Copies of this chain bind each other. A is one copy, B any other.
Amino acid sequence: MVRAEDLLVRRLGPCEFPSPIGKTGSVKHGVGVDDRLLYDDRLSSLGEQVDRDGPLPSFEVAGAHEKIYFDPAKTRAGIVTCGGLCPGLNDVIRGLVMVLHHRYGVRAIEGYRYGYEGLNPAFGHEPMVLTPDLVESIHKDGGTILGSSRGQQPDDVMVKFLKERGVNILFTIGGDGTQRGALDLSTEARKQGMDLAVVGLPKTIDNDVRYVEQSFGFQTAFTRAHYAIETAHNEARASRKGVGLVKLMGRHSGFIAAYATLASNDVNYCLIPEVDVSLEGEGGFVEHLDKRLERRGHAVVVVAEGFGQSYVEAEGTDKSGNKKLGDIGPWMKDLISSKIPDASIKYVDPSYLIRGLPATPHDSVLCFRLAAYAVHAAMAGLTDMLVGKWHGRFLNVPIPAVSRQRQCVDPAGELWFSVLEATGQPRAWGAPQPV
């Protein structure tokens, strides 16, 4: 249940400085920055909604404001990138610097090295001074010029560090864990009486952050995954009973597997964490695959890394606190080769190859726009929020609302239905998995 109050963004205080750029326009259906957007826009739900007490849940629209909270001439902004790489990180850094500098006139911008480590003086990482000249061409490289790391640092240490440097705004580019960390840091800052705006840019190659319809880098990732599938398809077709088996990223959410499957037209089985599948036994995956190999001579199987974790063991967590996953790829390879001994299996694991290169032009556009909205929000004194996208529009979303739940492929929704249509795999396989 989403409540209206869950979607309200916190503000540091009233805006008193005139913005040098003015506010984002709002004619007709280009929803304006002063407006709010319904959380639920189904006609069917309207009746129940308007009847009940209290306001309808709705989102604040992202955009530039007429008045801003910080005086640009005196503002110092910091940027940090955390967690694993994602295409577009440099685009986002570049966008933040460009809009801060050229549009608002902010001159003091700095980048912290290697994730939150860069905010802990114990590591001795000197912050980078970020200027338009420095960032001009960085988006042509993958990775992040700031470096990254996993995990949190002590909040009091980081707040002290920021306070001493006179930082007013902190942009946190990272996933779920990073944003929860940002929230803690912000809470600590408030406790210490520091006037700090913390604005997140959600980074998730798995596309699993809620209220972020399609995260930056995701299109780049599934575009690259698509070529891995095409390769596996060509390998499979060239062998008698050839099976192309492709493992793709997707710890809890199978979006990369689903979209790459839809893009490739050549996938026969798409296995994701959200949908349970009987692998063996009558009517199960292996039997179905075997029949297809007899009938058609080859097959392509895509499996997301988070699928079938009940079969593969793994212990412990990584530094981000994520549970380590067992490696389902080789396990599936062994399963198929043991059950269908004359199959010729070509296993492909593109791993980092889908995330280490520069963003596609589409993702570059998305990164620039996210960065601009993040700057607008921060300059207006909004905090503890990230820039999301819902029903096609950019929004300011409170971090707590986001981190309550992961975004997953809905096994009863239209995306998965499309995957079933594209692959022809049985709809009956497995009930939706609890997420």
Q: Is A228 an interface residue (CB 8 A)?
A: yes
User: Which residues from chain B contact A237 at a C-beta distance below 8 Å?
Assistant: 143, 147
A residues apposed to B, CB below 8 Å = 21-22, 24-31, 35-38, 40-44, 46, 50, 56, 58, 63-64, 85, 91, 94, 98-99, 102-103, 114, 117, 137, 139-144, 147-149, 213, 219, 222-223, 226-228, 230-235, 237-240, 259-260, 262-265, 346-353, 355-357, 360-362, 364-365, 368-369, 372, 390-394, 410-418, 421-422, 424, 427
Besides A24-B413, A263-B362, A391-B393, 11 other A-B contacts (C-beta < 8 A): A21-B427, A25-B413, A27-B413, A29-B40, A99-B421, A222-B362, A223-B360, A260-B361, A360-B360, A369-B418, A390-B392
* B357/A348 in contact, CB under 8 A: no
A123 to B353, CA, bound (A): 38
**In the complex, what residue of chain B is closest to A259 when comparing beta carbons?**
B365
Contact among B114, B147, B372, B414 for A63, CB-based, below 8 A: B414
* B24/A417 in contact, CB under 8 A: yes
* A263/B28 in contact, CB under 8 A: no
* A391/B392 in contact, CB under 8 A: yes
* B228/A424 in contact, CB under 8 A: no
**Assuming A35-B42, A265-B368, is B147 touching A240 (CB within 8 A)?**
yes
**In the complex, what residue of chain B is closest to A432 when comparing beta carbons?**
B27
Min C-beta distance of A396 to chain B, whole Å: 13
* B352/A353 in contact, CB under 8 A: no
A113 to B251, CA, bound (A): 40
User: Which residues from chain B contact A219 at a C-beta distance below 8 Å?
Assistant: 361-362
* B149/A240 in contact, CB under 8 A: yes
A25 to B421, CA, bound (A): 13
Min C-beta distance of A81 to chain B, whole Å: 8
**Assuming A30-B412, A230-B356, is B64 touching A417 (CB within 8 A)?**
yes
A264 to B91, CA, bound (A): 11
**In the complex, what residue of chain B is closest to A99 when comparing beta carbons?**
B421
* B352/A232 in contact, CB under 8 A: yes
**Assuming A30-B414, A239-B148, is B226 touching A361 (CB within 8 A)?**
yes
28 A–B contact pairs at CB < 8 A? A24-B414, A25-B412, A35-B44, A38-B42, A43-B58, A46-B50, A50-B50, A85-B234, A91-B265, A98-B422, A103-B421, A142-B231, A143-B237, A147-B238, A147-B240, A148-B239, A230-B356, A231-B352, A231-B353, A234-B356, A235-B352, A259-B361, A262-B364, A262-B369, A346-B352, A348-B352, A372-B418, A372-B421
A56 to B356, CA, bound (A): 47
Point out which of A357, A414, A418 has the most chain B C-beta atoms below 10 A from its C-beta: A414
* A368/B410 in contact, CB under 8 A: no
Contact among B58, B351, B421 for A348, CB-based, below 8 A: B351
A85 to B348, CA, bound (A): 14
